[in-house]
Amino acid sequence: MEEIPTIINSFLAYKETIQNCSPLTVKEYYTDLRTFFRYIIAKRSGKDLSNLESVDISGVDEELAGSVTTDEIYAFLLYLAQDKRNKAPARARKLSAIKAFYKYHTLKSKKLADNPAKDIDSPAVKRALPKYLSLDESIKLLESVDKNSETYERDYCIITLFLNCGMRLSELVGINLSDISEDMTKLVVTGKGSKMRTIYLNKACRDALEAYLKVRAKKAMANGRTIIDKNALFLSGRNRRISNKTVQWLIKKQLELSGLAGKGYSVHKLRHTAATLMYNSGNVDVRVLKDILGHEQLNTTQIYTHVSDKKLEEAMEANPLAKIKK
């Protein structure tokens, strides 16, 4: 990150080392701040805003960052909406990066005196209802895994954990053998912000995990091969920790084989599926669901309380006046 201006680099370092943000999150902060300061420089110098990629931000320092006004930030948000056609979530993310940058340098590093982003409201983001597989579709997806495949046990276990535990892609890929309890009743995953939580495994998960572990080493070391990432639970064909892209490809393939392609389903939709099935079928309290999913805020989890037409119907029928006839 040598080419990054010091004032931005120190903020990124704080996010990574003190707040334990993931490398991907830190990269997103940098990308958004780079776009913002490219806009400020181009706008002030009268350059063409359609070619921001060519703008050099190496000269961004305390003086320039400190001279940014609230009106300029509003103008940047308008530019994102009208010129770049950024939707509200994308604009909200970029504003969040700007807010975090100025908050750090006014309250922590003390390099800047004023925070021009402090009182700017974030663009309102409409929460769409999560898309999820029905129970029958979930079963079809599990049954679509080819039992004659060399990777059957691995692939079946991956889908089972997604559908039963509601873990994130990064959490599943990051599971180590040492994260699993000896009796295989629970495992520890590392979620957003490097926060660890315990996931309790039901019988379907334990059975799938046990079946995979029985053949994991044997298949990996066939023909004299060695396991590179020895502690990784899920291995790729090259005996390294399986990658995000490989898991995404795997789920896409199985959705096609199960006849569920073209419905907007993805790896993350399997997380939605687990949460929805638990809430709708298992009578799981939303506060318990919050802990299972690793959400920080309850309102993030509460979206799952609005996806079941059946529960709405049951609530209406539960009204004591429902049985009164004319």
What is the structure's pLDDT at 3? Answer: 80
Residue-averaged pLDDT of the chain: 88
pLDDT band at 311 (very low <50, low <70, confident <90, very high): low
d(CA 59, CA 87): 30
Residue 272 bears catalytic tag = no
Q: Which two tokens stand for residue 314?
A: 């049951």
Model confidence pLDDT, tens digit, residues 99-111 = 999 999 999 999 9
Q: Which of 34, 154, 271, 290 is catalytic?
A: 271
d(CA 299, CA 306): 12
Give ∠ CA 101-89-60 in degrees, rounded to 5.
30
The CA–CA distances, whole Å, from 77 to 39, 55, 64, 85, 95 equal 10, 18, 19, 10, 8
Q: Does the pLDDT value for residue 1 go beyond 60?
A: no
Q: Which of 131, 186, 192, 311 is catalytic?
A: 192
What is the structure's pLDDT at 137? Answer: 94
Query: CB neighbours of 127 closer than 8 A, spacing ≥ 6?
Result: 303
pLDDT band at 166 (very low <50, low <70, confident <90, very high): confident
Residue 192 bears catalytic tag = yes
pLDDT band at 193 (very low <50, low <70, confident <90, very high): confident
Q: Which of 47, 131, 140, 268 is catalytic?
A: 268
What is the structure's pLDDT at 282? Answer: 62
The mean per-residue pLDDT over the stretch 156-164 comes to 94
H or E segment to which residue 189 belongs: strand 186-190
Fold of 6-108: DNA polymerase; domain 1 (1.10.150)
Q: Does the pLDDT value for residue 209 go beyond 70?
A: yes
Residue 304 bears catalytic tag = yes
Q: Which two tokens stand for residue 201?
A: 């495994």
Q: How far is CA 112 from the centre of its chain?
A: 32
More confident residue, 158 or 318: 158
What is the structure's pLDDT at 280? Answer: 76
* Residue ranges of domains in the chain: 6-108, 135-314
What is the structure's pLDDT at 33? Answer: 97
Residue 168 bears catalytic tag = yes
User: Is 135-314 assigned to CATH 3.30.497.10?
Assistant: no
Q: Which of 168, 216, 241, 290 is catalytic?
A: 168
The answer, as to whether pTM is greater than 0.85, is no
Q: Does the pLDDT value for residue 317 go beyond 80?
A: no
d(CA 20, CA 225): 36
d(CA 155, CA 147): 10
